Structures are given as C-alpha cells and as structure tokens.
Structure 1
C-alpha cells in the first residue's frame, strides 16, 4: 500500500482557493438562472397557471396552506446537488494534479541518480498504473545495468585469466628459445631438450586458444544449431570405442547402457560430441583411482537423461557448484600437471544450454556423475530462435575431436 501524499501549506491553500472560487462562481450562476426564470414566469400566464395547479394538488394542512412543492424549492434542491458535484469534481481534479506533481518530483529524484528509490504513493487508479509502470521500468533498468556490470567484470576476469594462462607457457617458450639464441647450451642434447619443451608449451597455448574460441562461440546466442536425428545409444558406444586405448593405459573400463535401445532423438551431434568428449576427458584425467567410466542414457518423458560417471575420487561438496565456472580448478597443481585449460566444463554447459537442456554434477565416495537433461526434439526451439532448420540423419554421429 502506498504512502498517502502529504500536501504542503501552499497546496492546501490552492485547494481552499479553488473551492471558494468555485462556490462564488456557482452562486453567481445560480442567481442569474433564478432571475431569468422569474422573468419568464412573470411574463407568461401559462407558466403561472401550471405552477398554481401543481401547488394545489400538493397542498395540505389547515386550509391547504402548506405546499410541498414550489419551483423555487425544486430549483434550489437540484442546483444544490449540481453545485456540490461540481465543487467536488473541481477539488478532486486539482488534487489529482497535485498527485501528478508529486509523482513527477519523485521521478526527477530517481533520474538524478537515486536508482534504488521507488515511488510508493497512494494515488488514483489511473495514475497508479503509471507509477507501477515507472517502478517496473526502473527495476528493469537497474537490472540491465547490473547485468552489464557483471558482463564487464566477467570480461575483465576472462582477460586476466587468459593472460595469466598464456603468459606462463609463453615465458617458458621465450626462455628456452632464448637459451638457444644465446648459445647457452652444452650439447645438441640440450638443444633438443629446449626445443622439445618449447614445442610442448606451444601446444599447451594452442589448446587454451582453441578452448577459448570454442567457449566464446558457445556463449553466443546467435550460434547456429544443426539438429539431426540420431541414436544416442550408438553415439555413446562410439564414444567409448574412441577412448578405449586411452582408458586401457589408465586401466579403466567403459560400461555403456541405454534404455531404450536404440534411443532416437534430435540434437546438434557435433556440439553434443564435444560435450561428451569434455566429460570423458575429465573423467580420465581427474578420476583418480577410477576403474570404470559409465555412460548411461535413458528416455524419461520428453527428455533424454545421460549420466557420465566414474568410480574415482570424490569431488568435495563445496566445489560441485563451481565446477562449471570457467577456469575453475578443484586442484590447481593437478590441473597444471594435466595441462587443462579450465574451460572444458564451461563449454559443455554452454552447449547443453543451447539445446534447451541443463547439466549438473553430483559426487559421493562411490560415484561421481555429470547428469545431462536434453529435450527429445529441439526443432521447435530452433524455429523459434530463427536458427538453421533440421536435417534428418538416422545414423549415429561421429564424435568430435578430443577435448582438453
């Protein structure tokens, strides 16, 4: 409920003057009308006879000397009601104008930079709709400004993190190449060692740049989606086969299960392939002590739910909510050893979101799972977003290249 407007002394005087002036004008008007009617009656015998007849029919009391009606009484009654209505209407109109002035004053206060202020005044219904619209507009503006600040801060953070991650290998590359340039080596073996180290650091930079490009592309709402009809069960089988050699080196076994089988759905298979690649690479690199990686998919209503799980080390609870933040690392030293860019899960989340789905992680001492919910069909969503139309392909998609 809004706060009642407090009128100033000047405004109260305005209302008083408005009422007095209105009453005076109405009295003058009433007097003019009475004079005019008296003249009409005095100059017209027919009017006098009509009024006398009505008086006789409404007379009562001793010798019928009391009369309920006379044109004077009727006129005074009617004009009194009309005058009261006019006075009330003029005062209310002036009061509404004062309400408008107070609202405008509040609006100027907000426009001066007090964006945390809102208009809470008890005003008439028409003006209340305007006030509600103003408050909603200010709320929207403030939210947009805050979102802009968050985006700017996010960009600054991104630049800082990228600069830091690029500077580290770049410093090593320059350092080792500088040793070769200054001939600060003792043998050809030293030269080979320096060149090899610089090469590895260059590959690390290349991975970061590619992941950064993929991440920025995935974050764009205008990214086109090429949706195809495919078998999710077959796709998971192909993914397990493509990582089989890497898994054997780490003594890890893939276990794939789908219900139903085949599980037909529509999605951008290239982007989903990148999502699953990132999750499997993470499981291989960071699933310390894992013996199995489980790829499970099932149809639930109009959704396909996919679990990418491993039975390795548990992820701490306080890290679960931050896993999808870009450049976040549960263990900094471990990420340095594995050479990850810290963007893999952020890319996966962005691609899942583009499909109209969502992803989250859950972890226990027995199992760590990344759970993906995807719509069975994204054709309507693509049409709504004005994106590329569907193409039909009943074969399983080929997984994208290995992610880092």
Structure 2
C-alpha cells in the first residue's frame, strides 16, 4: 500500500511539473514571437516559413544585419555635398563612427562607392564593384545600389539569386543623409570566426541560431510535456489509493501552516506571474530566466491548490478550514485568555495586582463612594468615585507621556551627536533613570570631543614639525648643492677618483632635495594648508600633457601605453598645477614599479555625472600590502625599497585630490595595480 502511495505521488509530481512547464511555455513563446521575429522568413523570399532555418533568408539577416551594414557602408562614403541640413563636423563624426563600426566586423568583405564623388571605402584592395564581385565570393553576396534615390537589393545565396528592384520601403529610412547614388557590395565569409563581441555579423548569426534552437526546443518540449501530463494524470486517476488521507501526518503538518500564508503565497505568485508575462524579452537568456520563473510560479500555485483541496476534504464542513487561519487562532486564544483572566480575578480578588492602574482606579472609586455614603449625597455617591478614578488615570497617562517625550528628546539628541554634532548637550530634567541616561550621553559626547581634539592637535603638531624640519634643511642643503656645482666646474681636480666622489655627492644631494620637497608638499597637502586655484580644466588634455612629459621614462621601462579617452573634451573643476602633480606622481610610479615589456592601461570614463581616470599596470614586485596602507606617508613595498623614491607619491596624490573635492582610491588584484581618480563632470 505504501509503495502504491509513493508511486501515485510520483505521478502527481510528474503531472504537475509537465502541465506547469507546458503552461509556462505558452506566454513565454508568445512574448518571444512578439519581440524576436528574426527567425521568420524575410521580405526578400516568397517561400515563407514560421521558423526559417537558413540564416541568409531570415528577417534577422535582412533587417537586423543588412540595415545597419547599409547605414555604415553608405555613411562611410558620404560627401560634403550630401550633408543637406547637417553640419560638416557632425557629418565627419558620423562618417568616422561608421568606419569604426565597420572595422570591428571581420567576417565579411565589403566595398562602398559614392557615384557622385567617386569616393571608395573597402576592407579589400579592390576599387571598383566589378573587380570586387569578380574576385570576392562568399557564402552570401549582397549588392545594394541606389540610383536616383531608388534602392535595388540583390542577394546571392550560393548559386541562387534573389532580387528586389525597389527596396525603398524596407531600407530608405536607414539613409538619414541626402546620399542618393551609391553602390555597396557585401560578401559574407563561408566560415565564421570569433573576432570579438563587436563583430555584428557573428553577433546576429549567434542570436539567430539560439532563437531557432529555442523554437525547436519549445515545440519538442511542449509535445513531451503534453504527453507526460496526459499519461501521468490518467495513471494518477486510475490508482485508487489516497496520497494524503485524513489521518496523514503530512496533512496534519500542512494544517499547522496558517491559511493566510497560503493566501499571501498565492497572491505573490500570481502577481509575479503577471509581471513576468508582461516583461519584454531582449535575448535568449532573458527567455530562459522568465520561463523558469513562470514555471516555478505555476507549479507553486498547483501545489497550494492541491494542499488546500486536501485540507478542505479532511474537514467535516469546508468552513472549518478557517480554524487554520492565524487571525481566527489569535481570536480564539484571546477569548480563552480573557476567560481564564476572569476566572482568576473571580477566585482571587485583584489577583497579584496585574493591572496597577485598574486596581488604583477601583480603590479610589471605592473610597469616593464611601465618602459619598458618609455625606449622604446620592449624586456624590455615584459621581465622586468615577470622577476621581478618571482624574488619577489622566494624571498617570500625563506622567507616561511626559517621560516618553523626554525619552524621544534623548533619542533625537543621540542622533544629532551620531551625525557629527558632538558639542550638542542634552538638558537634564528631574532625577531618574532617564536623566542618568542623558547625563551619560553628554559625558560620552565630551569624551569624543576631547579625543577628536587631541587627535587633530597631534596631526597638526606632526605636520608643523615636518614643515619646520623641511624648511630648516632646505638652506644648508642648497648651500651644499651650490658648492658641489662649484667643485664640478673646477677643471684641474686631482686625484681623478675625487671626481667620482663629487658626482656621487651631487646625485645624493639632489635626491635629498627632492625628498625634502616631497615631504614639504605632503605636509601641506595633509594639513589642508594649500592655496587652490580652482578653474575649468580639460582633464584629457592635461593627461596627454603629463604623458608627453613622462614619455622618456615610460619608454625606458619598455612599457606599452594603451590610452582610451573620450573624443570630446572632458571638463572638471580643479587646480591645474596640483592635478598635474597628481598625474605626474601616478605616471612616475608606473614607470618605476611596472614590469618591463607590459601594457599600461589609462582610461577616462564619463559615468553618472562623474569623470573617472583609471590607471592600471602590472607590478614588477609582489603586491603584499593593503591598498589603504600603501597610501600612508613613507610607506613602500618591501621589494621596491632598492629603487629611488620617498614613499610619499601616493599620499601626496590622495591628499591633493581630496583637497580639490575629488576622490582617490587604489585597488589591488594579484599583480595588477589600479589607481582611480574621480571628479564631478561639468559642462
């Protein structure tokens, strides 16, 4: 019998899964057809199919691929005479953009000719349509020609030729310029190769293959799901045993779950189903994701329906299912509690003084009635006690409200202190636990204020000490450097090895001078004692200037610089000299610590009204330190201590960027060292 129950339960699950999958595929497939019609046969072919196996005969080829290719190829040979209402610079930008897009596409050969200006653009060596067609043969060859503003479209798939004498309705809207006479030939390679994400031919072909595969899979899956549902449902009905009878342990367990949970779960699943059914699909993986979610929603509804149906059958009356409701359970429990409370209060007068306020009111009311009885006034007998009781209640409530208001005042004060107003003081009212709490919070604020003051004082004293020492060292060091220069000018220095000593002194003294200047600059930057000349700056131009100045150092390190910046100017508010020092420090670090013969990536990206300057390089040393730690003054990696440097470059860069209202951060991933400078973008 148990084996039969398990078998019937298995068929029940199979039936639920198969029908849920079948129902989930219906809205998913419908929405997919509405948004992704690339698998249908294109307007160029008469033998229409719902699912077109041949990519070159599909809508994906003629609409998703040929239309942008026609736009790019025709725009690549646009002439100034064709500009119409467009500005010359705008036209040139569009022309360069079209050529850039075509450069990404490697799975095709093409040639475009402006018949008015005879301008030719091609990725082959051929300069005429005839030479191109004679020497280039692909799996699919397309010829698009415009004569007197009429576009003809010829397509050859292997040995079959398809023609459309007037394709203006399908293609004219692609040409947004006044180019009326041109020839374009496109030859698609026989074998596709993966040249990257930007190859439009490969991208459209892969999407088409996935969509065709999805349609075929959905048809086969639907048939299999329908067959499985029919077979499993019939077998489930034939089997006489009950999976969940009235005394089943699992049914009793399900009854513990409140009815509201089932209702809320059902509403949630229904809302989710409606949301996913109305969602537009933009790719193959969106379809799979929505299919899974819709399947889970439908399957969940079937499970809830089955459980509730079994619960209804287990009760003598269907209305008894309300007993599983949480609200009904709370009402029943409350009723029972009141009954028990009444029983206790009846057996023990004012039992344990549970309700102090009620007991006080009853006591005062009793006294009032007694006083009224002594004075012999019937009106006072019935009114004095209740009025006095009400007065006590009002006073007690007033006391509670007053204390709660003071507690709210204390909480607001702590929020202000938490927000940074550490000088804020709470008023001390009365002498109770709340007033003690307020006094302790005031003491905490004073302690925090004192700690911050001491920390700031310590930092200020350190900065002043560094500044004074740096300033005091400058004068004697300048004298040493000047005397060394005088010695070097002496022609007759003997013995000869003295010259070597002088050169060493010259090198070390100049390095010490740079170190002192860095120390002085770091001290000013960290203390905020800087004079900033904030102005509108093109960060791209400033970066190019800094790279030009550092070009020799970068070349000596055999570094391949990869620069990616916006074509248009990128403006920020900053101090040009200070920002140049930041760029100089970062580029200097790259030249010193990058692994030879590696690439350095420098990007400027505009993102959400922000400008991000990112520099990435591969370190020649193991990056065994924390990013925050390396930005501290005098901090250097262990392996880099044998190179020249003060360990102040990154600290200076960070402080200068922060002083100008920017953000500076460092990220380390293995041997990849990445620095990011961020400023607000301005017009």
Q: How would you bin the TM-score normalised by the shorter chain?
A: 0.5 to 0.7
* Structure 2 match to 1:237: 544
* Structure 1 match to 2:652: 347
Q: 1:281 aligns with which of 580, 588, 591?
A: 588
Matched, 1:327 2:634: yes
Matched, 1:214 2:518: no
Identify if the C-alpha distance between structure 1 residues 359 and 246 changes in structure 2 by more than 3 Å, giving closer, same or farther.
same
Q: Secondary structure, in 3 states, of the residue corresponding to 1:279?
A: helix
Identify if the C-alpha distance between structure 1 residues 161 and 190 changes in structure 2 by more than 3 Å, giving closer, same or farther.
farther
Identify if the C-alpha distance between structure 1 residues 236 and 325 changes in structure 2 by more than 3 Å, giving closer, same or farther.
same
Matches within 5 A, 1:382-397: none
Q: Distance in 2 between matches of 1:132 and 1:350?
A: 40
Cα distance, 1:350 vs structure 2: 1.2
Cα distance, 1:145 vs structure 2: 3.4
Do 2:618 and 2:672's aligned partners in 1 also have CA atoms closer than 8 Å?
Answer: yes
Do 1:231 and 1:264's aligned partners in 2 also have CA atoms closer than 8 Å?
Answer: yes
Q: Secondary structure, in 3 states, of the residue corresponding to 1:209?
A: helix
Matched, 1:296 2:603: yes
Q: Distance in 2 between matches of 1:230 and 1:162?
A: 30
Cα distance, 1:73 vs structure 2: 3.6
Encode CA deviations 1:40-69: one digit per residue, 9 max, x unaligned: xxxxxxxxxxxxxxxxxxxxxxxxxxxxxx
Cα distance, 1:323 vs structure 2: 1.4
Q: Secondary structure, in 3 states, of the residue corresponding to 1:298?
A: strand
Cα distance, 1:218 vs structure 2: 1.7
Q: Distance in 1 between matches of 2:469 and 2:521?
A: 19
Q: Secondary structure, in 3 states, of the residue corresponding to 2:674?
A: strand
* Structure 2 match to 1:337: 643
Q: Distance in 2 between matches of 1:134 and 1:208?
A: 51
Q: Distance in 1 between matches of 2:621 and 2:382?
A: 90
Encode CA deviations 1:334-382: one digit per residue, 9 max, x unaligned: 33531x12111111111222233322223345642212222114xxxxx
Do 2:633 and 2:648's aligned partners in 1 also have CA atoms closer than 8 Å?
Answer: yes
Identify if the C-alpha distance between structure 1 residues 192 and 159 changes in structure 2 by more than 3 Å, giving closer, same or farther.
farther
Q: Distance in 2 between matches of 1:160 and 1:319?
A: 27
Higher mean alpha-carbon deviation, 137-146 vs 277-286, is at 137-146
Do 1:352 and 1:359's aligned partners in 2 also have CA atoms closer than 8 Å?
Answer: yes
Identify if the C-alpha distance between structure 1 residues 191 and 147 changes in structure 2 by more than 3 Å, giving closer, same or farther.
farther
Q: 1:357 aligns with which of 662, 673, 681?
A: 662
Q: 1:311 aligns with which of 618, 624, 632?
A: 618
Identify if the C-alpha distance between structure 1 residues 318 and 161 changes in structure 2 by more than 3 Å, giving closer, same or farther.
farther
Q: Distance in 1 between matches of 2:382 and 2:466?
A: 85
Matched, 1:74 2:379: yes
* Structure 2 match to 1:264: 571
**Number of paired residues?**
277
Do 2:463 and 2:523's aligned partners in 1 also have CA atoms closer than 8 Å?
Answer: no
Q: Distance in 1 between matches of 2:643 and 2:621?
A: 19
* Structure 2 match to 1:371: 676
Q: 1:140 aligns with which of 425, 432, 445?
A: 445
Encode CA deviations 1:216-236: one digit per residue, 9 max, x unaligned: 222234644322222222221
Do 1:311 and 1:368's aligned partners in 2 also have CA atoms closer than 8 Å?
Answer: yes
Identify if the C-alpha distance between structure 1 residues 268 and 158 changes in structure 2 by more than 3 Å, giving closer, same or farther.
closer
Do 1:314 and 1:365's aligned partners in 2 also have CA atoms closer than 8 Å?
Answer: no
Cα distance, 1:210 vs structure 2: 1.7
Encode CA deviations 1:129-181: one digit per residue, 9 max, x unaligned: x6665455444333333334544665787799999999xxx99x99xx9xxxx
Cα distance, 1:197 vs structure 2: 3.5
Matched, 1:200 2:200: no
Cα distance, 1:258 vs structure 2: 0.4
What TM-score do you get using the length of structure 1 for normalisation?
0.53
Q: Distance in 2 between matches of 1:223 and 1:76?
A: 84
Which consecutive residues of structure 2, in runs of 5 or more, have no partner in the other structure? 1-363, 407-428, 484-492
Do 2:563 and 2:601's aligned partners in 1 also have CA atoms closer than 8 Å?
Answer: yes
Cα distance, 1:313 vs structure 2: 2.5
* Structure 1 match to 2:93: none
Which consecutive residues of structure 1, in runs of 5 or more, have no partner in the other structure? 1-22, 32-37, 39-69, 101-122, 178-185, 378-393, 395-404
Encode CA deviations 1:14-53: one digit per residue, 9 max, x unaligned: xxxxxxxxx9xx99xxx9xxxxxx9xxxxxxxxxxxxxxx
Identify if the C-alpha distance between structure 1 residues 164 and 223 changes in structure 2 by more than 3 Å, giving closer, same or farther.
closer
Cα distance, 1:80 vs structure 2: 4.8
Matches within 5 A, 1:1-150: 72-75=377-380, 80=385, 128=434, 134-150=439-455
Cα distance, 1:249 vs structure 2: 2.5
Q: Which has the higher contact order (CA 8 A, sep 6+)?
A: 1
What TM-score do you get using the length of structure 2 for normalisation?
0.34
RMSD: 4.9
Identify if the C-alpha distance between structure 1 residues 288 and 149 changes in structure 2 by more than 3 Å, giving closer, same or farther.
farther
Q: Secondary structure, in 3 states, of the residue corresponding to 2:637?
A: coil
Cα distance, 1:271 vs structure 2: 1.7
